[in-house]
A = this chain, B = another copy of it.
Amino acid sequence: MVIEKHKAVMDDNYIDALKALAEPNRLRLFWLLVHVDQRITVAEAMDVTGETQYNASRSLKMLYKTGLLTQEKRGKWVYYTLAYQLEPHLDKLIESVRCLPKERFSDITTRCKQRLSMRVDGECMIGANSEEWLNLIS
């Protein structure tokens, strides 16, 4: 029974990772984190993806819980980053996402670069839906 439970837990982790990625918005967000090679805050994710605060927060949190992302709290900001040195099957899963055609995500890539350009010394300073951001993308 203990073994059964252990198996179930291990299974669930991988299953949960697949489920987390099997949703277009989360896949886009994760693809971004795979390619941008940068930590990102919830507020930045909101601006880049155009999602609500709820969705951005939940999406990042979900990916974090599966082990695909790491979390780092800095003051009132929370940075999420692509995890490294994972188990082989999770590493391969990330590789799979990395291989997705870039053309699908060209819009999100541009917006992300714009948003990151608003950082100061590599730190996020401005919240979501700010005047500065709206001017930048208009």
Chain A contacts to B: CB under 8 angstroms: 7, 10-11, 14-15, 18-19, 21-24, 27, 87-93, 95-101, 103-104
A101 contacts across to B, CB distance below 8 A: 10, 89
Q: Which B residue's beta carbon lies closest to that of A28?
A: B11
- The A interface is mostly helix, strand or loop, or mixed, namely helix
* Complex CA–CA separation, A24 to B15 (angstroms): 7
Q: Beyond the given A14-B27, A92-B92, A92-B96, please list 11 additional residue pairs across the A-B interface where CB-CB is below 8 A.
A: A7-B104, A10-B101, A11-B27, A15-B22, A19-B19, A19-B22, A88-B99, A90-B96, A93-B96, A95-B96, A96-B96
Query: Among B18, B90, B104, which residue has its beta carbon within 8 angstroms of that of A11?
Result: B104
Asked if A99 and B95 sit within 8 Å, CB to CB, the answer is: no
* Complex CA–CA separation, A15 to B104 (angstroms): 13
- Nearest 4 interchain pairs by C-beta: A92-B96, A18-B22, A89-B99, A88-B99
A21 contacts across to B, CB distance below 8 A: 18
* Complex CA–CA separation, A90 to B93 (angstroms): 10
* Complex CA–CA separation, A10 to B28 (angstroms): 13
Query: Among B14, B22, B91, B97, which residue has its beta carbon within 8 angstroms of that of A89?
Result: B97
Asked if B15 and A18 sit within 8 Å, CB to CB, the answer is: no
* Complex CA–CA separation, A97 to B89 (angstroms): 6
